[in-house]
Amino acid sequence: MSGYTPLHDPEADARGYVPPLPQAIDKARKVLAEKAVANIHDRDEMIRAATGLDYVLRDLLAALDRELS
């Protein structure tokens, strides 16, 4: 067993819903703008920024994959 919890665990974090591409793009832009003002010296804000951006990036890539297939 590892000594940390990964940011993403494909088995535990699998999502059944893939948003439409325009919705995923809008959400990614919104979250990116929100996280841009995070205090880089605040550990908690950086953790929230990383997890929020990870979440929307995964949705965006899933939407792109669906669009391209």
Q: What is the pLDDT of residue 13?
A: 75
Number of domains in the chain: 1
Q: How far apart are CA 35 and CA 23, in angstroms?
A: 18
Instruction: Please report where in the chains the tokens 């550990």 appear, as a residue.
Output: 43
Both structure tokens of 28: 């990614």
Is 13 domain-assigned? no
CB atoms < 10 A from the CB of 25, how many? 16
Is 59 domain-assigned? yes
Name the residue with higher pLDDT: 55 or 16. 55
Q: Domain containing 54: what range? A: 25-68
Is 12 domain-assigned? no
Is 8 domain-assigned? no
Distances (CA, A) of 60 to 18, 30, 33, 44, 50: 9, 12, 15, 24, 15
Tens of pLDDT, residues 3-33: 888 877 777 777 789 999 999 999 999 999 9
Is 20 domain-assigned? no
Is 1 domain-assigned? no
Beta carbons of 60 and 42 less than 8 angstroms apart: no
